[in-house]
């Protein structure tokens, strides 16, 4: 029997297992990106009825094309990285740079844009943080990060962020003059189908310029921004407010659902016996 209390650990895997891993940067190529694009998109299509998003226009309206970008989202399950890949690749037409623990277990995802991080100690994680700063110099790359640092239960509150993302943003702003941080709310719901659906909402971009904020205070500020966006999305969906969402994909209705939809359109007269 699975002990549900053991599903979520406050200790990152590399620290828990005291594993020393050699740092591995992302290693993309046109061929492997082509493979990853179809594979990760196909995974979502197979497991989810639909993928919907809103607020993507803010990415183009509020961001200078020459400014490096960091997207930051909560992390509650295995699918979050796959969703992040499709956000960067399919919606924004950019390459993802995704920090992954224990990358030695999934070495091929380096070809899709993943790079390793060792959270055994703050010193051990510095290679990954420095690489993240360098990676977003190329504005064809987006750093997609889970700033909580660990997987938490769905809709866990409060959203406590670690300071690593602020460190990256601060160093990037100093090096490039400005960095754009965009919060991303991601949720998985069963709506009116027998498979769940992915709903993504993008928040307003936050620009950090060449200054040095208090790292702890700025991290708390970003945590509040992300939590407010996630709460807003959850509350709207719980009230059936699903306006303004665009469709990345939506599966066709099963045959029995198509029959159900047709039956709903039949005007049944009173006392007809039907």
Q: Is residue 96 a contact partner of residue 85, using CB atoms and an 8 Å limit? A: yes
Long-range pairs for 217-220: beta carbons < 8 A, 24 or more residues apart: 218/166, 218/170, 219/147, 219/161, 219/162, 219/163, 219/165, 219/166, 220/161
Q: What is the mean pLDDT of residues 226-248?
A: 96
Predicted pLDDT at 5: 63
203-238 as b/e: b if 16+ CB within 10 A = bebbebeeeeeeeeebbbebbebbbebbeebbeebe
pTM over 0.85: yes
Predicted pLDDT at 193: 86
Predicted pLDDT at 134: 97
Over the stretch 215-224, which tens digit does the pLDDT of each residue have? 999 999 999 9
Predicted pLDDT at 270: 47
DSSP letter at 126? Answer: H
Q: What is the mean pLDDT of residues 143-165?
A: 94
Lowest-confidence segment of 97-111, 120-134, 250-264 by average pLDDT: 250-264
Q: What percent of the chain is predicted at pLDDT more than 70?
A: 90
**Whole-angstrom distance, CA of residue 246 vs CA of residue 261:** 22
Over the stretch 172-190, which tens digit does the pLDDT of each residue have? 999 999 999 999 999 999 9
Tokens of 162: 């670690």
Predicted pLDDT at 274: 43
pLDDT band at 69 (very low <50, low <70, confident <90, very high): very high
Greater model confidence, 103 or 3:
103
Burial of 35 (0-12, 13-18, 19+ CB in 10 A): middle
Q: What is the mean pLDDT of residues 83-109?
A: 94
The yes-or-no verdict on residue 90 having pLDDT over 60 is yes
Predicted pLDDT at 2: 59
Greater model confidence, 274 or 75:
75
pLDDT band at 104 (very low <50, low <70, confident <90, very high): confident
């Amino acid at each position: 029997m699975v002990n549900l209390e053991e599903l979520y650990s406050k200790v990152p895997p590399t620290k828990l297992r005291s594993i020393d891993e050699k740092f591995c940067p992302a290693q993309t190529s046109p061929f492997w990106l082509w493979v990853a694009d179809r594979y990760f998109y196909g995974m979502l299509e197979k497991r989810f009825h639909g993928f919907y998003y809103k607020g993507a226009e803010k990415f183009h309206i509020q961001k200078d094309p020459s400014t490096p970008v960091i997207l930051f989202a909560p992390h509650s399950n295995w699918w979050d990285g796959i969703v992040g890949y499709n956000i960067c690749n399919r919606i924004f037409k950019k390459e993802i740079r995704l920090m992954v623990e224990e990358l030695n277990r999934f070495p091929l995802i380096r070809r899709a844009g993943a790079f390793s991080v060792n959270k055994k100690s703050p010193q051990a994680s510095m290679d990954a943080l420095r690489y993240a700063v360098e990676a977003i110099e190329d504005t064809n790359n987006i750093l997609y990060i889970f700033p909580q640092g660990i997987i938490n239960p769905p809709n866990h509150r409060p959203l406590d962020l670690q300071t690593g993302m602020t460190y990256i943003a601060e160093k990037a702003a100093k090096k490039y003059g400005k960095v754009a941080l965009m919060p991303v709310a991601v949720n998985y719901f069963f709506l009116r189908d027998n498979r769940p659906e992915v709903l993504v909402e993008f928040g307003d971009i936050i620009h950090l310029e060449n200054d040095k904020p208090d790292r702890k205070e700025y991290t708390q500020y970003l945590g509040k921004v992300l939590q407010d966006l996630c709460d807003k999305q959850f509350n709207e969906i719980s009230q059936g407010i699903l306006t303004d969402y665009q469709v990345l994909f939506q599966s066709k209705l099963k045959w029995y659902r198509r029959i159900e939809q047709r039956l709903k359109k039949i005007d049944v007269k009173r006392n007809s016996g039907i």
